[in-house]
Structure 1
Amino acid sequence: MKKAYCLATVTCDNFALGTEVLIYSFLKYNPWFDGDIVVFIDHLSSANKARLSAHYPVKFIKRSEQIENATNRLRKHLPTLRADLHLRLLSLEILRLRDYEKLVFLDSDGMCCNNIKEVFDSPNDFLAARDGFAYEHRANELLKKTPFDALTIPQSYGQNNLIHTFNSGFMAISSAYLTDEHYQGVVSLIDDLSLWKDFGSKGFTDQMLLNIYFQHKVTLVDGRYNFMPFIEQYIHQLDKLTLLDAKFIHFAGVIKPWFNYDDSEILELAPHYLKYLHLWRDVWTECTLGSDDQFAAWKITQQYDWTEHSGAKQPLTMQALSCEYEAPLSPVKVVNQI
């Protein structure tokens, strides 16, 4: 018998911390969920498998020989394609899962921050959120009403007719598309060298193939379900949404929250990322270190030191401002009025 729901993702040892936070945050905000959690892998250490399985009875599935062979053929013809191509194409494997009424795929470099049950219950066969191309097309509609020049948008994934495109980091797919016909249809595109020669080398992989194959079949949702700091202002201005509205935050791009960044480095490189990184770190702390008494004691000591010392000090810049603008009080003449 088919189970109602499945949460699926892709991981490797370099992304395992992200996957753990994804699973933990999903279960935290979706306590109703009793379906399967499927993680597609090429290779994953036994330690990381145990780490992920500690939160839920995860099903680990290795990539199929069909996709492995197709990927090897592609790399033989185009050896300059990105080194992690085989991992990125693992998301296509969701289409060979036949046991579910609705499957939700979330990238491992993301975290849930609210309930997404309505996504699983949606009557739509394929839900996804806009990618950067789609937001740029929407932005140009806005820019037409202003003195600003229109954005120069390249052809989306090399296709003239693709405008309403989506990011593959969030997808909700019903059993209508979890069929061998659609699996074979998408996988066959891996062998179409014309798609890869100009655009695959730039980084587009599974997302390119899925957009080409499923064009005109996808219902687009707003940025709440795939809130990407990388395109924060597009989501702010075009969807009228902020971080407080987000249900799934997706760290698309090169900045991954489990890397050991210094805050000053992020403030210089991408200051708007800092609030997202702190939020992810809070969930990671809750997920992995909540029962560590030594860690808790260290954090309490830090907190005490700050509240008793640093927290009582006014920043120097504010002191300077207050001194600069602090004027002596003038005597006030009180006039009795009848």
Structure 2
Amino acid sequence: MAQTQEISISTNQHNYCIATVTSDNFLPGTIVMLDSFLQHHKQFSGDICIIHNGLSEQSRAILEAHFESLKFKSAGHQLTEAVDRLTSAYPGMKSRQARFLSVEMFALTGYDKVLFCDSDLLFRGSIASLWAHDSAVVCCGDGAYYRGFGRDPKTFTEVALDAAADVLQTPFNAGLMLVDRGQCSADNYAAIIRRISPERWQKVRTGHTDQLLYNLHFADRATLVSPAYNYLLAYGDAIIEQSGTTLSDAAVLHYNGPMKPWLPNSILAGFRQSPMIVRSTQLWSTAFHDFLKRSVLGTVGVGRSGS
């Protein structure tokens, strides 16, 4: 896996937060993501923010039993109203409306950095060196980027980089983003929400949601780093061809797409795709069983929590 220089990220020196979006169905993924992050960043003592929409009390209790400094956050009324307007205009988007919950990370004011992580990530190494970047957003490319394409800012479809001047040249994936404190503010939160409008989505031709918003909003302010920090397994072949970065180089595996390693039917479908999917599923399962073993032995700490 990728080797990175360890940099202290203790909140004794800085004020950091890791944020994710989850649901009852994604709880196993959330647990593995958080536990694997903490295993590779033992000095981290910041807050963990769980953004959700109706997470059950049972799921909350499981998270509270194993992770420190938890905060639970539901969608604010501004975001809820904007998403309701959008899905009223386009009912087909109702099944994807929860994907907009990540916007709530920009309401997490007062932190020096906010690290947003999808709940289908597995940390295999440290990403602490990313904290040295002085950028609005530090992130990694998306599938189009690794295939050598840009994206049309209106339709968000893949286009050739020389197709027109008005092309998103370095489209990025929103599954792991390190956001600087200047971006987490009431003004920026409102500005991103204003982009969630039926008019804006009229020409969109892909299934993207929050990722589209961030690519537009941070088009000239995002710093892309090695795919090792957000290794998109669905595009593993393209990543290898574009950068030479292999599965064994990856500090963070991202189980993007429909294949989730905690869903049995999904696993069976994934096994037919590629050896990379088989190996990455094994790695996730090992991390999950390691968490369970430490939980039974009492070596996973019971922490503080807050709402």
The question of a shared fold, defined as TM-score above 0.5 by the shorter chain, is answered with: yes
Q: Is 1:9–1:91's contact at 8 Å kept on the other side of the alignment?
A: yes
Structure 1 residues 71 and 237, CA gap change in structure 2 (3 angstroms): same
2:159 is matched with which residue?
none
Determine which structure has more spread, i.e. the larger CA radius of gyration: 1
Mapped pair 1:175 → 2:181? yes
Mapped pair 1:253 → 2:224? no
Q: Could you tell me how far apart the structure 2 residues matched to 1:39 and 1:180 are? A: 19
Q: Is 1:102–1:175's contact at 8 Å kept on the other side of the alignment?
A: yes
Q: Could you tell me how far apart the structure 2 residues matched to 1:170 and 1:178 are? A: 16
Which of 277, 288, 291 is 2:281 aligned to? 277
Which of 192, 196, 216 is 1:186 aligned to? 192
1:83 is matched with which residue?
95
Q: Which segments of 5 or more consecutive residues in structure 2 lack a partner in the other structure? A: 1-10, 157-165, 298-307
Greater RCO (Cα-Cα under 8 Å, separation 6 or more): 2
Q: Could you tell me how far apart the structure 2 residues matched to 1:71 and 1:262 are? A: 28
| Aligned-residue offset at 1:134 | 1.5
Detail structure 1 runs of 4+ shifted over 4 Å in the superposition.
261-265, 290-293
| Aligned-residue offset at 1:117 | 1.3
Mapped pair 1:219 → 2:231? no
2:202 is matched with which residue?
197
Q: Could you tell me how far apart the structure 2 residues matched to 1:195 and 1:262 are? A: 33
- Judge which range, 2-11 or 280-289, deviates more: 2-11
| Aligned-residue offset at 1:82 | 4.4
Letter in 2 for 1:46: E
User: For 1:34-92, what per-residue CA distance to the aligned partner results, in whole angstroms no more than 9, with x for missing partners?
Assistant: 1111110111111111211222221111110111111111111111214131x100111
Q: Could you tell me how far apart the structure 1 residues matched to 2:242 and 2:127 are? A: 22
Which of 35, 44, 55 is 2:46 aligned to? 35
1:16 is matched with which residue?
27
User: For 1:171-217, what per-residue CA distance to the aligned partner results, in whole angstroms no more than 9, with x for missing partners?
Assistant: 001112112221111100112x23323426x3210000111111111
Structure 1 residues 95 and 291, CA gap change in structure 2 (3 angstroms): closer
Q: Could you tell me how far apart the structure 2 residues matched to 1:134 and 1:161 are? A: 12
TM-score (norm 1): 0.76
Tell me which protein shows more helix as a share of its residues.
1
Q: What is the number of residues matched between the two proteins?
A: 276
TM-score (norm 2): 0.84
Percent of matched pairs sharing the same residue: 29
Q: RMSD across aligned C-alpha pairs, in angstroms?
A: 2.2
- Judge which range, 54-63 or 255-264, deviates more: 255-264
SS at match of 2:182: coil
Letter in 1 for 2:246: T
